[in-house]
């Protein structure tokens, strides 16, 4: 099926497949690790009519209908929207808050244990436990995003400005098409973590000397304690995905449209089905950014409980990595799908949020449990990939395969259990989260090397883990 492989240099590969071109950004080690299935999936995706561009970031791996790590672009004028190339957790993304604390301030394990206990008090980590924000109107949140939250939950204006987007405008009448159970399940989930690969992680920074001035502008310093959050739209986005996958699938059958992969669904942007999905997707993006905001609000309360009410925890940035968004590229409105891909805009780019227009915004890239995460900044050369970079390490093997191949002892070694550098975890038994161990994922350092080598982005700081809170 693979017809031609061009190397453009700088970790940029161009694969000429049967149904179109796939761009892939990976160093040689990562490139050789890709299985044939990812190219089969790309070939299926390229059968969606009028595709303008498609690529994989180095963390790409097999997903449902489309690989996680995909950027796919269509013109807003005559293109398509694909829920499969958005992902099931609509609006899933990252958030980082900085502190005035240094690593040495939380080196004592008892202090970190106190922080974990306090965070679990304010942020429900059990899938069956609701949050206590009964005074938040979920309908106002899904309609207006952060602007729909009561003022008491917005510590200052910075919590609204240092985000990729604080709210997503759309036609609210489309909400009438959602089943009543959507609201029922969403109530009580705002400010909850969720399970799987979602987490809250307490980290300290190692600043890249080459970008020390930029780090200082962002308020970052060597040894600084930061908090990284990974979560999404919870049941609200999940319900939209399930309900409207069925709707679009039925429409495809009526149109006589098929694909070798039955789980790959799509519709013309201008169609009723396409417009319904896009509008409801924006409601999920509003929920997702508000959910991370409220998780962070709970984390802030926890830190203040341990370190005092004067502790400040400013927002560094909040961004998404599962969505489809209208963006202007090449003097044309495009619908850019990013499924497990992060937008990394360079300094001066007009799409930057105003507070980061001059410097470019922080691009937040998590590692796996026990490994480093990264804070990056986009480069001008990222234009060749519509400014998309990786969203994390990317799974190397399935959850089942991980449990079969990796032992708890190996997981303990990864977390440095019993040493001064031990990474504390909120789970009593590591066996319950064995499928999230570092061995389940690709080597994040190689992923970052691939991105840097492709001149898509640069490393500003490495985030070293000290404690992790995972959902149950």
Structure tokens at 332: 């044309």
Give buried/exposed letters for 230-245 (b at 16+ CB in 10 A, else e).
bbbbbbbbbbbbebbb
Best CA proximity match to 281, nearest among 315, 238, 327, 227 = 238
Give 233's contacts (C-beta < 8 A, 6+ positions apart). Answer: 89, 90, 91, 92, 284, 285, 287, 288, 291
How many CB atoms sit inside 10 A of residue 155's CB? 15
Q: What is the dihedral of CA 335, 339, 340, 344, to 10 degrees?
A: 0
Q: Which of 46, 90, 96 is nearest to 66 (CA)?
A: 46
Q: How far is CA 236 from the centre of its chain?
A: 17
312 within 8 A of 41, measured Cβ to Cβ: no
Catalytic residue among 167, 244, 293, 391: 391
Instruction: Please say if 391 is a catalytic residue.
Output: yes
- Residues near 467 by Cβ (< 8 Å), separated by ≥ 6? 106, 112, 115, 116, 201, 202, 423, 424, 425
Neighbours of 206 (CB within 10 A): 16
Whole-number Cα distances in Å, 158 to 101, 219, 313:
19, 13, 11
Which residues belong to the active site?
391
């Amino acid at each position: 099926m693979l017809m031609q492989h061009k190397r453009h240099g700088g970790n940029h590969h161009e694969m000429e497949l049967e149904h179109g071109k796939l761009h892939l950004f990976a160093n040689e080690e990562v490139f050789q690790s890709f299985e044939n299935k990812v190219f089969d999936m790309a070939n299926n995706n390229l059968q969606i009519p009028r595709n303008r561009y498609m690529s994989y970031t180095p963390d790409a791996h097999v997903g449902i209908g489309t690989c996680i790590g995909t950027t796919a672009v269509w013109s807003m004028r005559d293109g398509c929207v694909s829920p499969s190339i958005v992902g099931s957790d609509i609006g899933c993304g990252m958030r980082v808050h900085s502190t005035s604390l240094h690593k040495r301030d939380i080196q004592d394990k008892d202090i970190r244990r106190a922080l974990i206990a306090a965070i679990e008090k304010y942020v429900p980590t059990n899938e069956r436990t609701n949050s206590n924000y009964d005074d938040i109107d979920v309908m106002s949140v899904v309609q207006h995003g952060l602007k729909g939250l009561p003022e008491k939950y917005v510590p200052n204006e910075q919590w609204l400005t240092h985000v990729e987007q604080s709210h997503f405008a759309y036609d609210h009448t489309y909400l009438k098409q959602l089943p009543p159970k959507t609201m029922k399940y969403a109530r009580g989930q705002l400010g909850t973590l969720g399970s799987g690969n979602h987490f809250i992680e307490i980290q300290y920074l190692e600043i890249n000397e080459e970008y020390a001035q930029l780090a200082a502008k962002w308020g970052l310093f060597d040894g600084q304690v930061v908090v990284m959050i990974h979560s999404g739209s919870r049941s609200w986005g999940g319900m939209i995905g399930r309900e409207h996958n069925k709707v679009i699938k039925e429409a495809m059958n009526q149109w006589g449209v098929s694909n070798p992969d039955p789980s790959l669904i799509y519709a013309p942007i201008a169609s009723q089905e396409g417009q319904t999905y896009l509008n409801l997707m924006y409601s999920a993006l509003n929920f997702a950014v508000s959910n991370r905001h409220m998780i962070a609000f709970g984390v802030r309360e926890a830190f203040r409980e341990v370190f005092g009410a004067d502790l400040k925890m400013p927002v560094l940035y909040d961004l998404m990595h599962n969505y489809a968004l209208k963006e202007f590229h090449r003097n044309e409105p495009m619908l850019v799908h990013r499924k497990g891909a992060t937008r990394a805009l360079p300094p001066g780019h007009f799409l930057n949020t105003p507070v980061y227009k001059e410097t470019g915004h922080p691009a937040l890239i998590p590692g796996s449990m026990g490994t480093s995460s990264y804070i990056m900044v986009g480069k001008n050369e990222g234009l060749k990939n519509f400014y998309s970079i990786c969203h994390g390490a990317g799974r190397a093997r399935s959850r089942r395969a991980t449990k079969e191949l990796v032992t708890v002892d190996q997981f303990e070694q990864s977390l440095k259990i019993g040493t001064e550098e031990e990474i504390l975890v909120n789970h009593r038994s590591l066996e319950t989260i064995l499928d999230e161990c570092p061995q389940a994922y690709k080597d994040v350092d190689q992923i970052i090397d691939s991105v840097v080598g492709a001149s898509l982005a640069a490393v500003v700081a490495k985030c070293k883990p000290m404690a992790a809170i995972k959902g149950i």
